[in-house]
Amino acid sequence: MDPLRLRALLEEVQAGRATVDDTMAALRDLPFRALEFAHVDTHRHLRTGFPEVVLGEGKTPEQIAAILNELARGGGPVFATRVSPEAAKLVVPAVAGARYLATPRAVVVGETPAPDRGRGTIAVVSAGTSDLPVAEEAALTVELAGNRVERIYDVGVAGLHRLLAHRERIAGAEIVVVAAGMEGALPSVVAGLFARPVIAVPTSVGYGASLGGIAALLGMLNSCASGVAVMNIDNGFGAGRMAAMLNRATAA
């Protein structure tokens, strides 16, 4: 439930315009909503400032839609990640206000909030175009948390001049998320050039010896540049969530 809605309910009781029973009925979905196949965490926004996010992989379209419908009752934007185009064709019509974003493979419900909750801009950088699904998952997460995003894509180390062309944009960011596959070198380069925290995301992009992203993961973990924090392989959502938390304007 949106904290503003909860406050409004409590103020109605305080002012005598609503009964305790009315308010209890409105709060019946806290702290979770039990479905046959899931316990939907409707309380997570109140605890962490961000609603539960649905991992679409491994779920049927019907399950994704049901969970999104429960989460959307609390107000504010909610979304599901890793939703295939085929599943999205069934999910979107079943959830009011839903839309499908093909590149991050996400179903989003509700409007994107104004970018006014963070201290500064978060730059999301990708080494190659093939890294875009992961980079866009991070960027979407950052935006839905109310942060301003700078997207800088296809600037990998094979053509380093492309990265240097965006020096001012990266230097102006508060935090930098870097998604890279292959050998995973780009986060080290960014951290060596800019005095900004770098959240590195290894992607499962690359030829055989990349081992589905393990080579990039190990390269990032062994970065010679300081200030690099490493996420799991393809975890754009986790990177975006961490960046948004670090970028909070206050501790609240």
Q: Within this chain, do residues 142 and 216 fall inside the same structural domain, yes or no?
A: yes
**79: nearest Cα among 47, 48, 101:** 101
Q: Within this chain, do residues 139 and 214 fall inside the same structural domain, yes or no?
A: yes
pLDDT of residue 91: 96
Among residues 45, 75, 109, the one where a domain terminates is 109
SS3 content of the chain, % helix, strand, coil (to 5): 45, 15, 40
31-45, 163-177, 190-204 — which is least confidently predicted?
31-45
Q: Within this chain, do residues 214 and 182 fall inside the same structural domain, yes or no?
A: yes
47-51, 120-124, 129-133, 195-199 — which is least confidently predicted?
47-51
**186: nearest Cα among 156, 159, 222:** 156
Taking residues 75-97, what's their average pLDDT?
Answer: 93
Residue 53 pLDDT exceeds 70: yes
In the structure, what pLDDT confidence band is assigned to residue 222 with cuts at 50, 70 and 90?
very high
Q: Within this chain, do residues 128 and 216 fall inside the same structural domain, yes or no?
A: yes
Residue 18 lies in a domain: no
* Percent of the chain residues topping a pLDDT of 70: 92
How is 234-249 classified by DSSP, letter by letter?
T-HHHHHHHHHHHTBS
Residue 252 lies in a domain: no
Cβ-Cβ contacts under 8 Å for 99 (sequence gap 6 or more)? 92, 107, 108, 109
Taking residues 13-38, what's their average pLDDT?
Answer: 74
Averaged pLDDT of the chain: 89
Residue 16 lies in a domain: no
Q: Within this chain, do residues 218 and 153 fall inside the same structural domain, yes or no?
A: yes
Q: Within this chain, do residues 133 and 178 fall inside the same structural domain, yes or no?
A: yes
Distance (Å, rounded) from C-alpha 26 to C-alpha 21? 9
User: pLDDT by residue (tens digit) across 157-187?
Assistant: 999 999 999 999 999 999 999 999 999 999 9
**Burial 90-126, CB ≥16 within 10 A → b, else e:** ebbeebeebebeeebbbbbbbeeeeeebbeebbbbbb
Q: Within this chain, do residues 152 and 91 fall inside the same structural domain, yes or no?
A: no
Taking residues 25-35, what's their average pLDDT?
Answer: 67
**175: nearest Cα among 142, 145, 144:** 142
Element housing 150 (H / E):
strand 149-152
Distance (Å, rounded) from C-alpha 28 to C-alpha 30? 6
Report CA Rg, the chain. Answer: 20
Higher-confidence residue of 65 and 70: namely: 65
Residue 252 pLDDT exceeds 50: no
**Structural domain harbouring 170:** 122-246
Residue 54 lies in a domain: yes
pTM given for the model: 0.84
Q: Within this chain, do residues 100 and 157 fall inside the same structural domain, yes or no?
A: no
Number of domains in the chain: 2
Q: Within this chain, do residues 149 and 239 fall inside the same structural domain, yes or no?
A: yes
User: Which residues is 100 bridged to in the sheet?
Assistant: 107
Among residues 59, 88, 109, the one where a domain terminates is 109
